[in-house]
């Protein structure tokens, strides 16, 4: 509240809207932020690992999603708080960069903040904690590189890639078909991969889904799938040596951009208009025919008149093709997307060896498949499932498996899973803390304790005693000097993850540590939260 004076010297009071704002500062703000992050961690940590629980997400319009994918859970939650939004962005960052480990990264970030709160209560400054975390993260990343292994594979022998994909799919709802889905994902990636350059064009892998059938009916199609059918039921269903006109202009007479009014008050005028429309359609079809095209894919709809003319001229056509599919078809067939009929010519046509319409079982649905595309090797994973929920979850699982395979092609280093790398890093970080005399040693030890949260959650979700399991694993790792000992989630009788063939990509694991540490540092440095409640 301030006092000011007008031009006549009369005083008046300026209110600073104090009643509209609630303000948290310093330790209170940090504590509130950490509590939010820890509560989100507690929601997600039960979904970790092959025995993790699933969540039912209900959208505002009542649509149900059942999943244990961290990125999907966070994406569909009703997020209102800024700290929650930061953690959602953290999960998305992991999903975009690596594609897997979205749950682990949020759980680890929450664990770091939970440990940080204990240090804050002891009076240690947040900047010293952040510096300690940064130092500990470097030690952990270097240790991960030391305990990593390399795998070998090529286009003929790729069993190790399938094993890695199976590890990522094992925690999902569709794990009953994990072998089949992993094989499909690996074959798809290898088809479009350039192994010499260690590069994968993921945009050349389509993942389409259709309800009906079972998950075991999911198949890899060597080509591009369009979830449409020919625009006329009597058009030919198969085209060999297809020359494709890819159109982003509608088969309709042009409409003036501005408002207009047309009065037709006689039969002659009506006939003249009809003849004009007929001429437009004839000209359009003639331009397509003259270009040499024998198949038309159009992003927009057809007028019935145009559809009939295309059928009469033996030009099979598909309408309402999505923009993403149009771009993929143009890329794979070497064609150009044509915005005007007058620009269409033979050089802009896409080429495909075989195009056919395929009926899907007894569901009365059809799809169109473009095979043997001329330019790029494009593939489609066509997912089937009993209902939309299963199909969507299978698509998410395949996304994870595809990303894991891509990461291994880029960098073939792995670390064995089951919480083994976290336990090994925890021991290495604790050992390093003993050699540091400054205040940061407390933060470094807290980082080691936070690393234990991942194997503890895995043990809890598998029905094991978490404290006893982790204590035994740490003791065994020290005694045998074996960094591959982890939580036996599936009860296979051995703690050696190398024998169980459970592993993650090194790049993914390092990214988890780096992202979670940066997020924890960022939240620790926030000391002022201003909440606006709006005006009355």
Give 222-274 pLDDT, tens digit per residue: 888 888 888 888 888 888 888 888 888 887 777 776 777 777 778 888 888 77
DSSP for 252-321, written as a single string: S----SS-------SHHHHHHHHHHHHHHHHHHHHHHHHTT-SEEEESS-B-HHHHHHHHHTT--EE-S-
How high is the pLDDT of residue 530? 64
Examine residue 213 and state whether it is found in any structural domain, yes or no.
no
Task: Judge if 229 and 372 occupy the same domain.
Answer: yes
How high is the pLDDT of residue 139? 93
Asked which of 347, 366, 385 is the last residue of a domain, the reply is 385
Annotation marks residue 400 as catalytic: yes
Cβ-based neighbour number of residue 460 at 10 Å: 19
How high is the pLDDT of residue 517? 92
Asked whether the beta carbons of 298 and 247 are under 8 A apart, the reply is yes
How high is the pLDDT of residue 20? 40
Annotated catalytic residue: which of 67, 69, 405, 505? 69
Task: Judge if 363 and 424 occupy the same domain.
Answer: no
Task: Judge if 64 and 134 occupy the same domain.
Answer: yes
Asked which of 340, 366, 385 is the last residue of a domain, the reply is 385
Examine residue 397 and state whether it is found in any structural domain, yes or no.
no
User: What CATH number does residue 498 fall under?
Assistant: 1.10.560.10
How high is the pLDDT of residue 25? 66
- Taking every pair of Cα atoms in the chain, the longest distance, rounded to a whole number of angstroms, is 100
Number of domains in the chain: 2
Annotation marks residue 517 as catalytic: no
How high is the pLDDT of residue 132? 92
pLDDT digits (tens, 9 = 90+) for 287-298: 888 888 888 888
Asked which of 385, 401, 436 is the last residue of a domain, the reply is 385
Examine residue 394 and state whether it is found in any structural domain, yes or no.
no
Domain range spanning residue 501?
Answer: 20-150+415-532
Contacts of 10 (CB under 8 A, 6+ apart): none
**pTM (global) more than 0.85:** no
What ranges make up the beta strands (E) of 305-363?
A: 317-318, 337-338, 350-360
- Nearest C-alpha neighbor of 190 from the set 377, 330, 333: 377
Task: Judge if 373 and 423 occupy the same domain.
Answer: no
Task: Judge if 140 and 253 occupy the same domain.
Answer: no
Task: Judge if 375 and 235 occupy the same domain.
Answer: yes
Examine residue 179 and state whether it is found in any structural domain, yes or no.
no
Q: How far is CA 451 from CA 40, 90, 420, in A?
A: 17, 17, 11
Examine residue 398 and state whether it is found in any structural domain, yes or no.
no
Task: Judge if 237 and 344 occupy the same domain.
Answer: yes
In which residue ranges of the chain is pLDDT below 70? 1-26, 171-173, 257, 361-363, 529-536
Examine residue 367 and state whether it is found in any structural domain, yes or no.
yes
Task: Judge if 362 and 423 occupy the same domain.
Answer: no
How high is the pLDDT of residue 278? 79
Q: How far apart are CA 319 and CA 296, in angstroms?
A: 8
Helix (H) or strand (E) holding 475: helix 466-480
How high is the pLDDT of residue 449? 92
Asked whether the beta carbons of 107 and 45 are under 8 A apart, the reply is yes
Annotation marks residue 102 as catalytic: yes
User: What CATH number does residue 247 fall under?
Assistant: 3.50.7.10
Examine residue 24 and state whether it is found in any structural domain, yes or no.
yes
Task: Judge if 103 and 240 occupy the same domain.
Answer: no
How high is the pLDDT of residue 81? 77
Q: How far apart are CA 479 and CA 71, in angstroms?
A: 37
- Nearest C-alpha neighbor of 84 from the set 32, 155, 20: 32
How high is the pLDDT of residue 115? 92
Annotated catalytic residue: which of 102, 167, 405, 469? 102
**3-state SS assignment for residue 365:** strand
Annotated catalytic residue: which of 103, 163, 405, 517? 103
Examine residue 516 and state whether it is found in any structural domain, yes or no.
yes
Task: Judge if 228 and 376 occupy the same domain.
Answer: yes
Task: Judge if 239 and 379 occupy the same domain.
Answer: yes
Task: Judge if 360 and 477 occupy the same domain.
Answer: no
Annotated catalytic residue: which of 95, 100, 392, 400? 400
Asked whether the beta carbons of 194 and 204 are under 8 A apart, the reply is no
pLDDT digits (tens, 9 = 90+) for 86-133: 888 888 888 777 777 788 888 999 999 999 999 988 888 889 999 999
């Amino acid at each position: 509240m301030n006092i000011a004076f007008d031009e006549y010297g009369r005083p008046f009071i300026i209110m600073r809207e104090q009643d509209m704002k609630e303000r948290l500062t310093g330790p209170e703000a940090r504590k509130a932020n950490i509590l939010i992050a820890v509560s989100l961690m507690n929601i997600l940590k039960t979904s970790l690992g092959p025995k993790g629980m699933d969540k039912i997400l209900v959208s505002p319009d009542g649509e149900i999603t059942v999943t244990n994918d961290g990125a999907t859970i966070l994406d569909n939650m009703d997020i209102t708080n800024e700290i929650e939004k930061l953690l959602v962005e953290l999960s998305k960052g992991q999903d975009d960069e690596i594609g897997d480990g979205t749950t682990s990264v949020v759980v680890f970030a929450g664990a770091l903040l939970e440990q940080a709160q204990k240090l804050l209560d002891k009076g240690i400054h947040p900047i010293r904690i952040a510096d300690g975390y940064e130092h500990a993260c470097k030690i952990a990343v270097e240790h991960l590189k030391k305990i990593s292994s390399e795998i070998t594979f090529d286009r003929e022998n790729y069993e190790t890639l399938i094993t890695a994909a199976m590890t990522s799919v094992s925690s999902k709802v569709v794990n009953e078909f994990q072998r089949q889905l992993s094989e499909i994902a690996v074959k798809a990636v290898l088809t479009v991969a350039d192994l010499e350059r260690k590069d994968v064009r993921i945009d050349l892998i389509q993942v389409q889904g259709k309800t009906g059938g079972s998950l075991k009916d999911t198949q890899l199609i060597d080509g591009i799938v369009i979830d449409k059918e020919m625009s006329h039921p009597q058009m030919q269903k198969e085209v060999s040596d297809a020359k494709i006109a890819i159109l982003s202009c509608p088969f309709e007479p042009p409409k003036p951009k501005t408002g207009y009014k047309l009065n037709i008050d006689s039969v002659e005028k009506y006939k003249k208009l009809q003849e004009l429309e007929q001429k437009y359609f004839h000209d359009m079809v003639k331009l397509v025919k003259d270009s040499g095209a024998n198949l038309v894919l159009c992003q927009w709809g057809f007028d019935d008149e145009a559809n009939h003319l295309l059928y009469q001229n033996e030009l099979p056509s598909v309408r309402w093709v999505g923009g993403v599919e149009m771009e993929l078809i143009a890329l794979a067939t070497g064609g150009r997307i044509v915005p005007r009929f007058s620009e269409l010519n033979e050089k802009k046509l896409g080429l495909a060896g075989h195009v056919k319409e395929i009926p899907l079982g007894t569901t009365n649905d059809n799809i169109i498949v473009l095979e043997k595309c001329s330019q790029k090797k494009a593939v489609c994973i066509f997912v089937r499932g009993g209902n939309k929920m299963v199909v969507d979850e299978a698509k998410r699982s395949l996304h994870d498996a595809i990303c894991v395979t891509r990461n291994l092609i880029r960098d073939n280093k792995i670390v064995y899973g089951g919480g083994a790398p976290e336990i090994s890093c925890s021991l290495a970080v604790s050992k390093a803390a003993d050699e540091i005399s400054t205040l940061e040693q407390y933060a470094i030890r807290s980082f080691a304790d936070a690393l234990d949260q991942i194997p503890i959650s895995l043990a809890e979700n598998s029905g094991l005693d978490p404290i006893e399991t982790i204590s035994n694993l740490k003791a065994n790792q020290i005694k045998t000097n074996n960094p591959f000992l982890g939580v036996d989630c599936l009860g296979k009788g051995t703690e050696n993850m190398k024998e169980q063939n459970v592993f993650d990509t090194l790049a993914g694991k390092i990214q988890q540590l780096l992202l979670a540490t940066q997020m924890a540092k960022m939240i620790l440095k926030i000391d002022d939260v201003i909440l606006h409640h709006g005006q009355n």
